[in-house]
Amino acid sequence: VSSRLAIWLLLAAVVACGNPQHAAVPAPAHDPLVPELDAIRRLATSAPRAFDVVRSLTDEVGARSAGSPGDKLAVAWARRAMPASGLRDVRTEPVMVKHWVRGEESAAVVSPFAHKLSVAALGGSVGARGLEAQVVMFDDLDALTKADTAGVAGKIVFLDTPMHRSRDGSEYGRVVPNRMRGAAVAAKLGAVGLLIRSVGSDHNRLPHTGMMREAPIPAAALSVPDAELLHRLVARGAPVRVTMTLGAHMEGTSESANVIGEVRGRELPSDIVLLGAHLDSWDLGTGAIDDGAGCAIALEAARLVAELPPPRRTLRVVLFANEEHGLDGGKAYAKAHAGEASHHVAALEADTGAGLVYRIRALGGPGTAAILASLVSHAALGIAADGKPAWGGADISPLRELGVPLVDVSQDTSDYFDFHHTANDTLDKIDPTSLEQAAVYFASVAYELATTPEEMGPIPPAERRSD
Ligand SMILES: [Zn+2]
């Protein structure tokens, strides 16, 4: 791990020095933190710890969907892991979460040819017991929205939109409305159930679950090969009938928690750089890439920062409760901390797996361009800034609405959506070297944001809403 990591980081520095854009960046007026940032790289190279953190979370806790026993174990795990990563003042803030349970599930094509189908209920779906109906297929949610009740009523809607790979995750954004809103739209047209082609870029025979908006009909994802089979059968023209049984049901609400720890700032301790990830996962895998990797990046970044001279401001790590099924932790944090929103000088989130960092973006007030230029010449050495505004992350999106400035340290998601929300989201999918590289960049960027005399300033009101 360490020699490959050293090569990556050296390469990044060489690329940055040979980059004409880099040469055009004006020299910063303040101490560029070179010794501290070098120390972060050296510490990470000589004794990388990020992989060990995600191994511990996935092996010792595993699946941890909101409200489940694993969720409670994960909170206890985080309370132990934070001090071990150098974080102090570790505490929990309670978050009430929905407790949805999958139960047993199965589906099959009944006619014209019998086939078992590999399915997973979408998070929040109601159950079904031997529901059987004819399938009506649509290319995407738009096509379904324009459909007549006559063609849909009494049928199982099948939404079949292929998803491709994308480094920036944009394909997920394009296809995920099928999962979020498909059942609600289909129910309005009188459908009795929904099947979607998994929102995933793989061809494994494993379905991808994920949250859906509340709807009165059962909804499930088909693995990509099963969706392609169903597509071929429906395309023959003769009626295709499918049956499904979903044990999915809601078990009420349960208490979980956001887990918070800090590296206290030496000059402005009440000013905060927030580094977040989410502690919960879906139930099918062990939540290694989503978001064990992000938890490991945040904790490893904290460990690296905690070994340096303290930053001027406080680095606050938040491991959020229930991102997956309603963003309860992110909403609760923003509500509980609205009074200190103006003291949050920046927020970052690690929630796109364990891929290599390749890009940095920022969104804030008048100081943003200068801070970004400074980050690109020091902490974000060797990674590209394309000038577009940061998105932030799901858990910190409620902070965006309060004007908290955001920085994206973007990771390559080319293979993330092969495994995302499936039983295949397990530790072996993580490359320890790229995970550590991501932790180094998050640590370096967070350290510089917490130490530079400048501030981005709040996001202008017109740009506070994300979509
Ligand atoms: Zn996630």
Verify whether residue 93 is a known catalytic residue.
no
| β-pair type (241-246, 128-138) | antiparallel
Q: Helix (H, G, I), strand (E, B), or coil: what is residue 164?
A: coil
Task: Provide the β-strand partners of residue 133.
Answer: 242
Which one from 36, 171, 300, 323 is the annotated catalytic residue?
Answer: 323
pLDDT given at position 10: 65
- 164 CB-side CA count, 13 A: 4
Centre of ligand 1 to C-alpha 352, Å, is 7
pLDDT tens track, the chain, 467 positions = 567 777 767 666 655 544 444 444 444 445 678 899 999 999 999 999 999 999 999 999 999 999 999 999 999 999 999 999 999 999 999 999 999 999 999 999 999 999 999 999 999 999 999 999 999 999 999 999 999 999 999 999 999 999 999 999 999 999 999 999 999 999 999 999 999 999 999 999 999 999 999 999 999 999 999 999 999 999 999 999 999 999 999 999 999 999 999 999 999 999 999 999 999 999 999 999 999 999 999 999 999 999 999 999 999 999 999 999 999 999 999 999 999 999 999 999 999 999 999 999 999 999 999 999 999 999 988 899 999 999 999 999 999 999 999 999 999 999 999 999 999 999 999 999 999 999 999 999 999 999 999 999 999 999 998 76
CA distances from 162 to 109, 290, 295, 321 (A): 21, 22, 30, 31
The tokens for 195 are: 């099947």
Ligand 1 ion: nearby residues, β-carbon < 5 Å: 290-291, 351
pLDDT given at position 9: 72
- For CA atoms 199, 205, 210, 214, the dihedral sign is positive
| CA 134/CA 138 separation, integer angstroms | 13
- Please name which of 233, 141, 241 lies closest in space to residue 184, comparing C-alpha atoms: 141
Residue entry with tokens 């209920």: 121
Centre of ligand 1 to C-alpha 120, Å, is 18
The one-letter amino acid code at 240 reads V
pLDDT given at position 4: 76
pLDDT given at position 24: 44
Name the CA dihedral angle for 348, 349, 354, 355, rounded to a multiple of 10 degrees.
-50
Residue entry with tokens 């940095």: 360
Residue entry with tokens 């980059």: 19
With beta carbons less than 8 A apart as the criterion, state whether 275 and 230 touch.
no
Centre of ligand 1 to C-alpha 216, Å, is 26
In the chain, how long is the greatest CA-to-CA distance? 73
Centre of ligand 1 to C-alpha 353, Å, is 8
Centre of ligand 1 to C-alpha 324, Å, is 7
* pTM listed for this prediction: 0.95
| CA 190/CA 119 separation, integer angstroms | 22
CA distances from 11 to 6, 38, 67, 353, 383 (A): 8, 14, 44, 22, 11
pLDDT given at position 65: 98
Q: For the segment 15-27, what is each residue's pLDDT rounded down to a tens digit?
A: 554 444 444 444 4
With beta carbons less than 8 A apart as the criterion, state whether 32 and 378 touch.
yes
pLDDT given at position 14: 56
pLDDT given at position 11: 63
Centre of ligand 1 to C-alpha 323, Å, is 7
Centre of ligand 1 to C-alpha 394, Å, is 8
Q: Helix (H, G, I), strand (E, B), or coil: what is residue 40?
A: helix
Centre of ligand 1 to C-alpha 15, Å, is 31
